[in-house]
């Protein structure tokens, strides 16, 4: 095997008994880190500390991961102003977090014969989302629904951050019709396999602008007096 010491320096090609003896002398473990190499690569390390560090890195990576998916918000053609504002603030919050948002207009009964009502609502939403998101495609009828997908324009924020949903800073109100389809973060690579433990694992601010100078040859205007004539 090709042996690597704890500092990353190569010690050359060694037989297994010799490598184990070196690891025991250092009170460390002999770990195979590249079994597919020719010859295989083994490293002398504290395997317990290595496993702990791997777990900490995986935990930190998961905490900082940004879950980006497709959200859905449903409207009705005869939606009231209050419900419209509440749902639209939630759409803005989704876009600020980096999610795509599927806007669905649900028609009931004879409402399906008036698609212009749904188109009017979608155009209104797109106008309010200007600067936050843009439409990926023109609104289209899907059965008894009219659908439009908005994609974020800004860089997504971490999922742990708190941000207002609307441009005015008003807090976002959760909507009952919101549905999520989030994607899970990719997993980490498995930890290297331990060949033969040789010892117990150790735990391890800006200056104000100057006033403009008066042109050459002109006197600065005198301050006006508010005192009345005596």
Q: Are residues 42 and 84 part of one domain?
A: no
User: Judging by DSSP bridges, how do beta strands 69-75 and 100-106 pair with one another?
Assistant: parallel
Q: Which of 178, 91, 109, 106 is nearest to 141 (CA)?
A: 106
CATH number, domain of 149, equals 3.30.110.10
Q: Which of 86, 56, 49, 93 is nearest to 71 (CA)?
A: 93
For residue 211, name the pLDDT band (cuts at 50, 70, 90): very low
- Average pLDDT of span 106-135: 90
Does the structure show a pLDDT above 70 at 217? no
CATH number, domain of 50, equals 3.10.20.80
Residue 119 lies in a domain: yes
Residue with the larger pLDDT of the pair 62 and 152: 152
* pLDDT for 135: 86
Residue 227 lies in a domain: no
Q: Are residues 13 and 57 part of one domain?
A: yes
Residue with the larger pLDDT of the pair 122 and 66: 122
For residue 162, name the pLDDT band (cuts at 50, 70, 90): very low
Contact between 11 and 3 (Cβ < 8 Å)? yes
Per-residue pLDDT tens over the stretch 17-60: 898 999 898 889 988 888 888 889 999 999 888 889 889 988 88
For residue 92, name the pLDDT band (cuts at 50, 70, 90): very high
Q: Are residues 87 and 56 part of one domain?
A: no
Residue 37 lies in a domain: yes
Q: Are residues 24 and 58 part of one domain?
A: yes
Residue 188 lies in a domain: no
Residue with the larger pLDDT of the pair 47 and 230: 47
For residue 88, name the pLDDT band (cuts at 50, 70, 90): very high
**The dihedral sign for the CA sequence 154, 155, 156, 158:** negative
Q: Are residues 47 and 105 part of one domain?
A: no
Q: Are residues 100 and 13 part of one domain?
A: no
Per-residue pLDDT tens over the stretch 106-116: 999 888 888 99
Residue 229 lies in a domain: no
Q: Are residues 156 and 75 part of one domain?
A: yes
Does the structure show a pLDDT above 70 at 219? no
* pLDDT for 86: 94
The domain boundary, picked from 182, 199, 225, lies at 182
Q: Are residues 86 and 51 part of one domain?
A: no
Residue 208 lies in a domain: no
How far, in Å, CA of 89 to CA of 128, rounded? 10
User: Judging by DSSP bridges, how do beta strands 2-4 and 41-45 pair with one another?
Assistant: parallel
The domain boundary, picked from 64, 81, 116, lies at 64
The domain boundary, picked from 49, 64, 79, lies at 64
Does the structure show a pLDDT above 50 at 1? yes
Q: Are residues 76 and 55 part of one domain?
A: no
Residue 117 lies in a domain: yes
35: domain range? Answer: 2-64
Its pTM surpasses 0.85: no
Residue 45 lies in a domain: yes
Edge-to-edge strands, sheet with 194-196: 10-13, 2-4, 41-45, 29-34, 194-196
* pLDDT for 136: 85
Q: What 3-state DSSP class applies to 128? A: helix
Contact between 2 and 12 (Cβ < 8 Å)? yes
The total number of structural domains that make up the chain: 2
| DSSP letter string, 130-145 | TTTEEESS--EEETTE
């Amino acid at each position: 095997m090709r042996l690597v010491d704890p500092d990353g320096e190569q010690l050359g090609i060694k037989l297994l008994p010799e490598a184990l003896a070196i690891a025991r002398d250092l009170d460390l473990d002999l770990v195979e880190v590249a079994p597919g190499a020719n010859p295989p690569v083994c490293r002398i390390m504290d395997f317990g500390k290595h496993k702990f560090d791997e777990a900490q890195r995986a935990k930190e990576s998961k905490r900082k991961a940004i879950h980006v998916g497709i959200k859905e918000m449903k409207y009705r053609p005869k939606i009231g102003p209050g419900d419209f504002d509440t749902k639209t603030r939630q759409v803005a919050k989704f876009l600020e977090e980096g999610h795509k948002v599927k806007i669905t207009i649900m028609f009931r009964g004879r409402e399906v014969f008036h698609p212009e009502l749904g188109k009017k609502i979608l155009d209104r939403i797109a106008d309010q989302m200007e600067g936050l998101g843009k439409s990926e495609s023109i609104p289209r009828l899907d059965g008894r629904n009219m659908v439009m997908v908005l994609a974020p324009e800004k860089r997504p924020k971490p999922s742990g951050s708190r941000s207002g949903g609307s441009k005015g800073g008003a807090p976002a109100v959760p909507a009952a019709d919101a549905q999520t389809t989030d994607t899970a973060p990719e997993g980490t690579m498995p930890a290297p396999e331990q060949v033969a433990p040789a010892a117990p694992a150790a735990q391890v601010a800006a200056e104000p602008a100057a006033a403009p100078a008066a042109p050459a040859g002109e006197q600065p205007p005198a301050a006006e007096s508010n005192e009345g004539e005596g």
